[in-house]
Homo-oligomer: A and B are copies of this chain.
């Protein structure tokens, strides 16, 4: 196992110490239980947006904490759900009285632990709404999931709901918006190589030198099929077809296209993927109105990519364009 780490058991804690050192003044990193908040949390009168999940998907979620996006992120151990007490503490820390939206990726542990935390928070007088993200069209059920998995749409929901909360919308509205984003987004991913979970020390799965996994999960859980390597253009067709068919996306639609790297794939390859996405959507008269190309929801050092399409409307585009200031996504008015 070749990694820039010290003790495999201390990876998350030490990375959080690095985040604290790098972003002091913008982020507040809390330990035992671990969570990250905006430095100015709770923001008076504003609905707080909170997400979390296993570590190893950075910049998701900690890299998306800041004005215009998340108020708090709750990192579990690598590929392991955060505990209810972590989520509860973060929820209480960011609640200004206007309530807290939990954005939860659909993995069984995450869903259960966020539910427990929400019940405890409500008992403490915090208004909590939860939305489960399940945009991955690859498989119905999976190793860690009943139903579809939550992947790239999480990034988009965090940005869009963060903007809505910043604009002063009430909790019920922001939750409805989050369900709308999830409903209009579809994703699928693939892997060229496995990743190695630090405290495990061996590859999560084995792939032959001439093989790839189509429909991979972000923890390396199995996808639709294992096939022989193909050129990037053919891979894009394998991912985009099921995405387009599922919503379905139709001629005349306007979309946000996210081409996401799994962590070990260089940017130059992601642009080759984006090129083909743009060609195929162009052929179908689907307009890419916004795009994002880079590493946003990763699987440690896995090589591969995922594609997410979100069907846009004027409201979603406007919220996407709103200012955001986080380590992982940042732009002005």
Interface, chain A (partner B; CB < 8 A): 2-7, 11-12, 14-19, 21-22, 55-56, 58-59, 63, 192-193, 209, 212, 229, 231-233, 235, 263-275, 278-279, 288, 291, 293, 295, 298, 300-301, 303-305, 323, 325, 327, 330-333
Contacts and interface: CB of A to CB of B under 8 A. Distances in A.
A301 B264 CA distance: 6
Contacts of A272: 4-6, 11, 14-15, 18
Contacts of A332: 323, 331-333
Contacts of A266: 56, 58, 263-264, 298, 300-301
Main secondary structure of the interface of A (DSSP, over half): mixed
A14 B274 CA distance: 10
Contacts of A14: 232, 271-272, 275
Nearest to A282: B21
Contacts of A274: 18, 21-22
A64 to B, nearest CB: 12
Given A15-B272, A55-B268, A2 B193 contact: yes
22 contacts: A2-B192, A4-B192, A4-B265, A4-B269, A4-B270, A5-B231, A6-B272, A14-B275, A15-B268, A15-B271, A18-B270, A18-B274, A22-B271, A56-B268, A63-B267, A263-B267, A264-B266, A266-B298, A266-B300, A266-B301, A323-B332, A332-B332
A229 B2 contact: yes
A271 B2 CA distance: 16
Nearest to A279: B21
A34 B75 CA distance: 43
9 A-B pairs with the lowest CB-CB distances in the bound complex, closest first: A332-B332, A18-B271, A18-B275, A21-B278, A4-B269, A58-B267, A2-B192, A15-B271, A18-B274
Contact of A15 (B275, B295, B301): B275
Contacts of A331: 325, 330-332
Contacts of A7: 231
A268 B11 contact: yes
A59 B261 CA distance: 14
A278 B6 contact: no
Nearest to A209: B2
Nearest to A234: B6
Given A11-B268, A301-B303, A331-B331, 10 more contacts: A4-B270, A4-B272, A12-B268, A15-B268, A15-B271, A16-B271, A22-B278, A323-B332, A331-B332, A332-B332
